[in-house]
Amino acid sequence: MSGKVYLVGAGPGDPGLLTLKGARVLASCDALVYDWLANPELLDLAPESAVRVYVGKKGGDHTMSQERINELLCDLAADGKTVVRLKGGDPFVFGRGGEEASALAAKGLAFEVVPGVTSAIAAPAYAGIPVTDRRATTEVAFVTGHEDPGKPESTIKWGALAQIGTVVFLMGVKNLPNICAKLIEAGRDPATPAACVRWGSTPQQETVTGTLADLPQRAAQAGLKPPAITIVGQVAALRQELAWFEKLPLFGKRILVTRARSQASRLSEGLAALGAKIIEVPTISFLPPEDPEPLETAVAMLEDFHWVIFTSPNGVDAFFTALGEAGKDARALAGCKLAAIGPATAATLLQRGLIAEVTARTFQAEGLIEALEAKGITGQRVLIPRAAQAREVLPETIASWGNLVQVVPAYRTVRPPESTMLLANALSQGLDAITFTASSTVTNLMEMLDQNGRDLLAQQSREGGLTVAAIGPITADTAKGYGLEVKVQPEKFTIEALTEALSAYYAS
């Protein structure tokens, strides 16, 4: 049986602009054939088992001819595979999707078009330029700025375009002088507002404004290169009032997130929403303890404990995994009082239907000690399931009050093997900031570098070329121990507070 090809529009660059249907078919494909302009983040939506084939075209560098791409899609479909052809923008707006659909139709192969957000609308919108606005124009035309070089002459109706309120040219940076000259020659006022937007909707977005007469010169002075679109019309003047994306507090900042991949999304999404370019280099990942017996024994004897103290959301998750493997659930904790080191840990317990008797206001052992001390705990049996390696101040202090404390490793942290290469790539491209959410993220990142690398990072942080953000004082102290100057540290030790503090730092 033959398969099916989905011609999916990847949108203009911001991965959040992919449609829900596009994400759904990506998640279930057997093969993914993608372009240069498709955001690499979207590739992660496809199953790991999916075959990935890059067929991008960049300037004169064509990885694969259009005819060969058509054949590839037909071959994959004929082989019974579900194929996603991921194309920048919209497949049918200067995307040659029609040619690919025709090739499939000619062989009787099933296909479906999943429209995408075209850069012709999205890039101007992210630059603060509405392509239509009743104060300026009620008509818009989309035109290729790069006609088929095989044509004997241009088929663009310049005279008609000169009369249209807004004209958007796609892929026309190299031809910009000719485009502007042709419009002026056809009768368009040289003083007409115009703009070029490069990498629209991404943190690399760059906008050059001017008039029809001087835009080519301004674009050349700015060193503007593809991919970019050009907008001609009175609407371009509205950018001065409506620009929003490039005014976001973290716009264009390259920020390294060092959290474990399973936990990075909340921090990454928060920073990206403020305009940052996120580079994820997970410095830790979580594994079961090397010896599971202590945790298994503790779970089997839960009725003997008066208190169970959780020092991280990871500890909660690992503990409940062990609980489930023992055939138990939250009811096994009915006779225990619970304590959480901070709001995030308490929230993780609440997801399990449990409310902590004590919650520290800060994600710090000292804060939990203060909260527990107010309870006057003494003569109690206390269980602390935590990371295999952790500070001893919490169990030692609780034991000093006359309690019997049992610490069991619930999980261990290791450094992902692929992270060293990811870090090297990130540093080679330059960074504006690094975020640390635990001491282990600092230690593991610095251990990926040789001494020269550590010294260079420390020097950049002192000289202002690199902003180091730490979630709390313990993490900050670890960073300072490596010579890093910490410039951002929130009052509350939470992901949200760290995001806000970094935003406020750059805003000031």
Which tens digits make up the pLDDT trace of 357-404? 999 877 778 888 988 888 888 999 999 999 888 778 899 999 999 999
Which of 57, 182, 337, 487 is the catalytic position? 57
For strand 285-287 and strand 404-414, is the pairing parallel, antiparallel, or unpaired?
antiparallel
Q: What is the pLDDT of residue 61?
A: 62
Q: How high does pLDDT run on average in the chain?
A: 92
Report pLDDT digits (tens) over 85-96.
Answer: 999 999 999 989
Cβ neighbours of residue 456 closer than 8 Å, sequence gap 6 or more = none
Of residues 189, 207, 204, the one with CA closest to residue 124 = 207
Cβ neighbours of residue 395 closer than 8 Å, sequence gap 6 or more = 382, 384, 405, 407
Q: What is the pLDDT of residue 152?
A: 67
Give pairs for 19-25: CB < 8 Å, separation 24+. Answer: 19/114, 19/115, 19/116, 19/117, 21/114, 22/114, 22/116, 25/82, 25/84, 25/114
Of residues 29, 2, 6, the one with CA closest to residue 108 = 2
Which of 4, 35, 87, 446 is the catalytic position? 35
Of residues 360, 361, 301, 310, the one with CA closest to residue 332 = 301
For residue 149, pLDDT over 60 is answered with no
For residue 60, pLDDT over 70 is answered with no
Looking at per-residue pLDDT, the higher value among 494 and 60 belongs to 494
- Cα gap 236→230, rounded to integer Å: 10
- Cα gap 220→255, rounded to integer Å: 29
For residue 339, pLDDT over 70 is answered with yes
- Cα gap 239→236, rounded to integer Å: 6
Which of 64, 107, 133, 171 is the catalytic position? 171
Looking at per-residue pLDDT, the higher value among 193 and 491 belongs to 193
The answer to whether 22 and 15 have CB atoms below 8 angstroms apart is: no
**Known catalytic membership, residue 57:** yes
> pLDDT band at 150, cuts 50/70/90?
low
- Cα gap 407→382, rounded to integer Å: 8
Per 3-state DSSP, what percentage of the chain is helix, strand, and coil (rounded to 5)?
40, 20, 40
**Known catalytic membership, residue 253:** no
For residue 465, pLDDT over 80 is answered with yes
Looking at per-residue pLDDT, the higher value among 109 and 391 belongs to 109
- Cα gap 339→329, rounded to integer Å: 18
For residue 282, pLDDT over 70 is answered with yes
Q: How much of the chain, in percent, has pLDDT values that exceed 70?
A: 97
- Cα gap 478→119, rounded to integer Å: 44
In 10 A of CB 7, how many CB atoms?
A: 27
The answer to whether 13 and 202 have CB atoms below 8 angstroms apart is: yes
Q: What is the pLDDT of residue 62?
A: 65
Looking at per-residue pLDDT, the higher value among 186 and 283 belongs to 186
> pLDDT band at 146, cuts 50/70/90?
confident
Looking at per-residue pLDDT, the higher value among 297 and 418 belongs to 297
For residue 57, pLDDT over 80 is answered with no
Which domains are delineated in the chain? 4-117 (3.40.1010.10), 121-246 (3.30.950.10), 254-284+416-507 (3.40.50.10090), 288-412 (3.40.50.10090)
